[in-house]
Structure 1
Amino acid sequence: MRATAEHLEPYRRWRMTYRSDGRDLAGFWLAPDADGPHPALVFNHGSIGFGPASLPGLQVLVALGYAVFAPIRRGHNDEPGPYWLDLVPAPWGSPEMGRQLVAALRGELVDVLAAVDWVAARPEVDAGRIVVAGSSFGGVLTVLALSEPAPLCAGISFAGPSMSWPDAPALQAELLAAAASGTAPLFLAQAFNDHSLQPTYAIGAELARHGRPHETRVYPAIGDDPMTGHGIFATGLDLWRVDVERFLARWV
């Protein structure tokens, strides 16, 4: 189900606005109570948008001492701009569909990088300690963002492109190229019953081939269906919490 503005209601008190590509877009700023400067984390939602299920995971990250910004990208949750699926009219699985999908994600990457700049400019943030993370399409954008000249010191991809990977060779190529060209440490997390584990295996192998610091974690199955496993950021807190805390303590 595609998320709407109504799904943002639980986050209302943290609402901010950031500017990207000529648009004012919503985002949500959750910061620790202690005085800064804080390390920060930009969390990127998945392909259906942002909703209440992500809140417990964000609160875990805040409890680790991170100021967390969750930007809404163009076209999601009734924000201005085209929704990605409207930019991918080609038959699913066709070569043209893969190219269209990459182009749509590249557009959304502009918003991610604008959100990073917004965070880096905040006085309560240590601009040298910014992490990018995300779930599903947000995990895809995490991998892509780390290949850009942005002030990012690490990344965490939950579930990545597991739903689209088998059908989009163009996206596979884009992500493998990003893995080869980036330098920041990357944490890849999936549940065993996600739609496909190939993204973690393939991207992890490419990171290893280029000597890039990384961790790949395939956790036990969550629930009885692939969608529950795919939602590991929300459904698998107790699985990834300790590993993510250790990863961040090492690299940030």
Structure 2
Amino acid sequence: MNPRRLLVAALLWVWALTVTGCSASGSDTERVQQPAPSTPAEASESAAGDQPTEAPTTPAEEVAQHPSLTDYFDEVPDASPIELGRVREQTAAYTSYDVSYRSDGLRITGVLNVPTGSGPFPAVVLAHGWIDRDAYVTGQGMTRERGHLAENGYVALHVDYRAHAGSDDDPELLGQLYRGYAVDVLGGVSALRASELPVDDERIGLMGRSLGGSVVLQALEMAPGLVDAGIVYSAQSSLEADNYRQWGGRPVDGYGAEYASRHGTPDENPAAWQDMSTRPYVDRITEPVLMIHGTRDEDCPPEWARATHDALAQADVDVQLNWYDDQHAFGPQFAQSMEDTVAFLQRHLT
């Protein structure tokens, strides 16, 4: 090759190297764009190389998992024998005592009516309705029912619930949407069976009014087969969203206020309220159920009772719904409702 041409080629080669090196080390605004990866695998490797090696953390504001009624299934609490306290009342038909027992790590108080005689007697554990815990006194809410049952030969145990009267407090009660109440009622059944009282262990039923009606359904679902019958009297809805919308408007002491503050309202988090309701789990109930409701109930609308009855019937539960021309607390029709209650118990506590 011509020497002149060789010199020109060499000079061009040196110039090209110099230009290339400047481009690779230029400023950010002049940085050469890298070619896109040609295959999906190369794209994946490239993306992975651009990511930090430490896994991202869960945001602090993430909502905690809400509880469920299923958390309580098939765990019947043991209980100490019932301890008799002072005599409250003595009639020809029965003697009434202040009582207490220990269950689920708590001391639970209540009132016990024992029929006169040697027994053994069938028994009913009573679940009272909503009463302000600060105003509640032991045995309040079902005095009429307790007396009527004892006069007809039934041991009647009224459970005060945790955080009521002389019962121990439970810091998790409100956050668990009061499900501890049903645990206390089941503990009452265990306490009766652990005691030396004249109780027929094979003939025990549950009865609850208003909020207590919901407590009875919860207890029947938590522990199928533990008792022989359930009575649901002027009960709340079997959907907790209904109950919150009816009574949960007050931010501090409204129904479910603490639960809503932790897990959201039914509109914000419907699953949190559905999972704590009894209606989704009625197929667990194995005992016959008597429902009693007033056609003019001003607190718990009659349509709630119809919906609960229909859900129970569709689940093949042996359920009977009796209607009475009365309001929530029952006045004129109370005696008839209790006669029907005793007739139901006589059929099923055998």
Q: Is the 8 A contact 2:228 2:348 kept in 1?
A: yes
| In structure 2, C-alpha distance between the alignment counterparts of 1:107 and 1:215, rounded to whole Å | 27
**2:110 is paired with a residue of what secondary structure?**
strand
**1:141 is paired with a residue of what secondary structure?**
helix
Structure 1 gaps of 5+ residues are 1-8, 88-99, 222-228
**Could you tell me which residue of structure 2 aligns to residue 241 of structure 1?**
338
Match of 1:160 among 235, 252, 255: 235
1:25 aligns with 2:84: no
| In structure 2, C-alpha distance between the alignment counterparts of 1:235 and 1:64, rounded to whole Å | 20
**Greater RCO (Cα-Cα under 8 Å, separation 6 or more):** 1
1:251 aligns with 2:348: yes
**1:120 is paired with a residue of what secondary structure?**
helix
**Could you tell me which residue of structure 1 aligns to residue 168 of structure 2?**
80
**Could you tell me which residue of structure 2 aligns to residue 90 of structure 1?**
none
Residues 58 and 158 of structure 1, relative CA distance in 2, 3 Å threshold: same
**Could you tell me which residue of structure 2 aligns to residue 104 of structure 1?**
177
1:230 aligns with 2:328: yes
| In structure 1, C-alpha distance between the alignment counterparts of 2:293 and 2:158, rounded to whole Å | 21
Q: Which amino acid in structure 1 is aligned with residue 308 of structure 2?
A: I
Q: Is the 8 A contact 1:47 1:137 kept in 2?
A: yes
Q: Return the index of the structure with the highest Cα Rg.
A: 2
Counterpart mapping for 1:95-244 below 5 A: 100=175, 103-123=176-196, 124-149=198-223, 151-161=226-236, 166-168=242-244, 170=273, 174-194=277-297, 195=299, 196-221=301-326, 229-232=327-330, 236-244=333-341
**2:221 is paired with a residue of what secondary structure?**
coil
Deviation (angstroms), 1:54: 2.5
Match of 2:126 among 39, 43, 54: 43
**2:304 is paired with a residue of what secondary structure?**
helix
Residues 113 and 245 of structure 1, relative CA distance in 2, 3 Å threshold: same
Q: Is the 8 A contact 1:132 1:156 kept in 2?
A: yes
**1:31 is paired with a residue of what secondary structure?**
strand
| In structure 1, C-alpha distance between the alignment counterparts of 2:275 and 2:88, rounded to whole Å | 33
Deviation (angstroms), 1:38: 0.9
Consecutive aligned runs of 4 or more in structure 1 exceeding 4 Å deviation: 9-13, 49-53, 162-165
| In structure 2, C-alpha distance between the alignment counterparts of 1:80 and 1:165, rounded to whole Å | 28
Structure 2 gaps of 5+ residues are 1-85, 90-95, 245-265, 267-272
How many residues are matched?
Answer: 221
Q: Is the 8 A contact 2:119 2:199 kept in 1?
A: yes
Deviation (angstroms), 1:183: 0.8
1:3-40 deviations in whole A, cap 9, x for unaligned? xxxxxx99475111111222212111101101111110
**Could you tell me which residue of structure 1 aligns to residue 18 of structure 2?**
none
TM-score (norm 1): 0.77
